[in-house]
Amino acid sequence: MSTAPRENAAESAEPSISAGKILVVDDEPSIVNAVSYNLRRQNFSVVTACDADEALRVFSDEQPDLVILDVMLPSGSGFDICRAMREQSRVPILMLTARIAESDRVRGLDTGADDYVVKPFGMRELVARVRALLRRAEPMTVATPEETRGLYIDHEKREAHFEGKLLALSRREFDLLVLLASSPGRVFDRQTILDRVWGEDACVDNRTVDVHIRWLREKIERTPARPEYLLTVRGFGYKLKG
């Protein structure tokens, strides 16, 4: 029985989160071709491998930003490959499997995988999971206080000061502020904020972001109803003034 994906293509081509290179490891040509085609439509660069030895060689040579790895390969276990890759790098690894047992999924996660997709899978789901893993892997670097207009963040103490005043922030408020401060002037859509601050699997919706932005404004803005720093980009998301 074929375990090829249910869909031949994602519905629409959207720009990728970054200029990411994806390594696809699977011994079924139909899956490799379908996954590679859909990723390239999203502007990802794709390299492929069909067995364990080739996978490790390509991984070392190409240094991909993310790996899509089949569990069952003719020349070795995907679990062993995942473990070997994890010893070399912290890049996200998304495992594909025809198995549905919880023990198999747990084993994959224990060897270093970041996510799991069970065959047959939908292409839109796969691409969405790739984007989410890449977003979560993006480094968060905070600009200097001058660049963030008086905002100073101490990561070790998990403290934030604005114009010399210590802010009384909850854990989520602090993480949200760190994300926005990582790229002053960049607009973060609500889904990206949810994925980066709450996690992809969190059972929250976009209104949670709006509420936390309101709470942050009450602690930072002189007039929260007329924000000067935490700005709304209508119909899209939020940004910290650059």
Does residue 98 sit in helix, strand or coil?
Answer: coil
**Regions of the chain where pLDDT drops below 70:** 1-19, 99-108, 138-149, 200-204
Does residue 229 sit in helix, strand or coil?
Answer: coil
Q: Which two tokens stand for residue 122?
A: 């939908």
Rounded to two decimals, the pTM is: 0.55
- For residue 211, give every residue at least 6 positions away whose Cβ sits within 8 Å of its Cβ, in sequence order, or none: none
Q: Which two tokens stand for residue 63?
A: 């240094």
Place of tokens 């890049």: 91
The pLDDT tens digits of the residues spanning 151-194 come to 888 877 888 888 888 999 888 898 899 899 888 889 999 888 88
Burial of 11 (0-12, 13-18, 19+ CB in 10 A): exposed
Place of tokens 């002037």: 185
Q: Are 137 and 115 in contact (CB under 8 A)?
A: no
The pLDDT tens digits of the residues spanning 131-162 come to 888 877 765 554 444 446 678 888 778 888 88
Domains of the chain, CATH where assigned: 21-137 (3.40.50.2300), 151-240 (1.10.10.10)
Burial of 61 (0-12, 13-18, 19+ CB in 10 A): exposed
Q: What is the Cα–Cα distance from 39 to 81, expressed in whole angstroms?
A: 22
